[in-house]
A and B are shown apart, each in its own frame.
Chain A
Amino acid sequence: MAEKPKVAFYWCASCGGCEEAVVDLEENILKVVDAVDIILWPCAMDFKKRDIEAMDDGSIAVAFINGAVRMSEQEEWVHLLRKKSQMVVAFGACAHLGGIPGLANLNTKQEVFDTCYHDVPSMDNKDATVPGVESMVDGHHLHLPRFWDTVKSLGQVTDVDYYLPGCAPPADLIWSAITAILTGQLPPKGSVLSPNKACCDDCPRKDSKPDTLEITEIKRPATHLADPDLCFMAQGFICMGPATRGGCGSRCIEGYMPCRGCFGPMDDVFDQGAKFLSAFASILTPKDEAAIDALLDQIPDPTGTFYRFSLPTSLLRRGKMGTPV
């Protein structure tokens, strides 16, 4: 009897949403369990690094890895799984692009520690204690993994075969990807497993988009009401749809909120944030610098919006160390 292919799930700097997304396969997950032998899933199964280390290289058929890489332990696990697996799939926006944790690339480790362990108003830490890689407590030696200054996507740490985009990837996309893998019907290596077209293509509000978009005022969801039927950009709300790969089912739009770009860019785009910046700036109406700047003042946080999910995989990758916020 043919052995079932071995499959591993692992999570790095992750929120667990990608794990939930697998469970959102509902009935289909039973088909998955039937078809494969899950040999690693830390949230659900015995997590033995030694067992994975003992496996032959390449004996795992597919490793699905979600989460960004931001701690030393995560990086070690990624290298180990790459060695033991024939195929590595970057699962979800964090592994694909860096994700929300990637916003920390505008900060340094020192800044994160200063805030979390010192500055927050609830902190009572007069001794300025901070967690350390090595500590001696009650005469015992304890270890923690190292927190890097820079968050990386999975592809920046190891060779990735395929990318499954989304935060979290929708169930139908996950199912298509798993089916493609099990039947061996895959696009070229390095592909993102979702169509190469913009979100606008499938957007339920597409028909309301005028041929010429001209923005005279930039509106923020905090302080403005949005029309439930009109294209967000046409109304002056920032919507990352034009610079974002489709295949998500426009779920955020259906929730009456604009896209924030979690599927990442389309093929041939190096930097999703820059691409959106370019498109958005092109459709603003003012022509003189003062009027342009007054309009741009209405965008509260360009970098945090345009690069919401993709900061580590942007062209600059991170802010300058020690940039004041």
Chain B
Amino acid sequence: MATAAFEPRIVAFFCNWCTYTASDLAGTARLAYEPNAPVVRVMCSGRVDPQFVLKALQEGADGVLVGGCHPGDCHYQEGNYKALRRFRLLKRVLTQFGVEDERVRLEWISASEGDRVQHVINEMTGQLRRLGPFQQARS
């Protein structure tokens, strides 16, 4: 289980138009949050191939966070719906693989919701500290 020394590594895929902008906003508003989630900027949450999520876990991530625009607000109209459908199906596969629910997360965060970025990353980091490292793919 988690030790005091364990710091989870979360890979965050944020869409350019909403969530990435929100994380910038969190920065300029000086909303401090856990440093455990380096961000990969994608143009749309619909760009996130499930392989990215699995590869991140395989390569050392303990969790993966995907952030996109609220349904109906996607800059490309449909992209986040695709992301939602893929994510829901991926979650079922991950459950069959025994990957804990907290490790892979999809959040709708609009450009103005810097505080939500702060909240989600803090929450997820705390959960993964308790869960411990992801060890499966490396066994």
**Residues in chain A within 8 A of chain B (CB atoms):** 106, 150, 269-271, 273-275, 277-278, 280-282, 284, 286-289, 292-293, 296, 299, 301-304, 306, 314-323
Contacts and interface: CB of A to CB of B under 8 A. Distances in A.
B136 to A, nearest CB: 5
B90 A316 contact: no
A315 B136 contact: no
B86 A282 contact: yes
A292 B87 CA distance: 10
A274 B53 CA distance: 10
Contact of B139 (A281, A296, A315, A318): A318
Nearest to A275: B51
B71 A315 contact: no
A274 B50 contact: yes
Contacts of B98: 319-323
Given A274-B51, A317-B137, A320-B99, A281 B88 contact: yes
10 contacts: A270-B55, A274-B49, A274-B54, A277-B86, A296-B88, A302-B96, A316-B54, A317-B58, A321-B98, A322-B98
Interface stretch (B26-34, B77-85, B122-130): B77-85
B85 to A, nearest CB: 4
B68 to A, nearest CB: 13
* Top 5 A-B pairs, shortest CB-CB distance: A320-B98, A323-B98, A315-B54, A303-B96, A281-B85
A316 B96 contact: no
B71 A281 contact: no
Contacts of B57: 315-316
**Residue with the greatest number of chain A CB neighbours at <10 A, chosen from B84, B89, B99:** B89
A271 B54 contact: yes
A303 B71 CA distance: 27
A316 B99 contact: yes
Given A281-B85, A299-B92, A316-B58, 15 more contacts: A106-B96, A106-B97, A274-B93, A278-B50, A281-B88, A282-B86, A287-B84, A292-B85, A293-B88, A299-B89, A303-B92, A314-B54, A316-B137, A322-B98, A323-B97
Nearest to B49: A278
A288 B89 contact: no
B81 A273 contact: no
A315 B55 contact: yes
Interface of B: 49-51, 53-55, 57-58, 71, 81-82, 84-86, 88-90, 92-93, 96-99, 136-137, 139
A303 to B, nearest CB: 4
Contacts of B89: 277, 280-281, 296, 299, 302
Contacts of A287: 71, 81, 84
B139 A277 contact: no
A314 B98 CA distance: 14
Contact of B82 (A282, A303, A316): A282
A50 B116 CA distance: 66
A67 B78 CA distance: 43
Given A270-B51, A274-B50, A292-B88, A281 B96 contact: no
B82 A319 contact: no
Contacts of B136: 316-320
B138 to A, nearest CB: 9
A112 B86 CA distance: 31
B76 to A, nearest CB: 13
Contacts of A273: 93
A278 B86 contact: yes
Nearest to B92: A302
Nearest to A316: B137
B88 A316 contact: no
A239 B5 CA distance: 46
B85 A284 contact: yes
Contacts of A284: 85
Nearest to A317: B137
**Residue with the greatest number of chain B CB neighbours at <10 A, chosen from A150, A302, A316:** A316
A286 B45 CA distance: 17
